[in-house]
């Protein structure tokens, strides 16, 4: 593309459609979409790790209970 020409860029995300006619506007839109996706990913990972911690504690308690039960039975 040479100086003075324009190119319409259409960005689709879900039901949203954004249109940019120049490079700087496209870059701005692209950065905002990437930032939103990154925040979503970080939020998802954070929630998953929190659940994993709870599952680990529950599993450890289960193992301790089984060890105590076996010890009481003399095994």
Is 4 inside a domain boundary?
no
Is 31 inside a domain boundary?
yes
The residue ranges of DSSP E strands in 8-62, in sequence order, are 9-13, 16-20
Average pLDDT value over all residues in the chain: 76
Mean pLDDT calculated for residue range 37-50: 80
Is 13 inside a domain boundary?
yes
Is 41 inside a domain boundary?
yes
Domain that holds residue 30: 9-72
- pLDDT tier, 52 (very low <50, low <70, confident <90, very high otherwise): confident
Rg (CA), the chain: 26
Number of domains comprising the chain: 1
Is 3 inside a domain boundary?
no
pLDDT of residue 4: 55
Is 62 inside a domain boundary?
yes
pLDDT: which is higher, 4 or 64: 64
Is 32 inside a domain boundary?
yes
Mean pLDDT calculated for residue range 21-45: 74
Is 29 inside a domain boundary?
yes
């Amino acid at each position: 593309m040479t100086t003075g020409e324009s190119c319409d860029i259409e960005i689709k995300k879900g039901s949203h459609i954004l249109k940019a006619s120049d490079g700087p506007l496209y870059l701005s839109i692209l950065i905002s979409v990437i930032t939103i996706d990154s925040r979503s990913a970080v939020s998802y990972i954070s929630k998953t790790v929190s659940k994993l911690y709870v599952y680990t504690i529950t599993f450890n308690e289960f193992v301790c209970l089984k060890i105590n039960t076996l010890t009481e039975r003399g095994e």
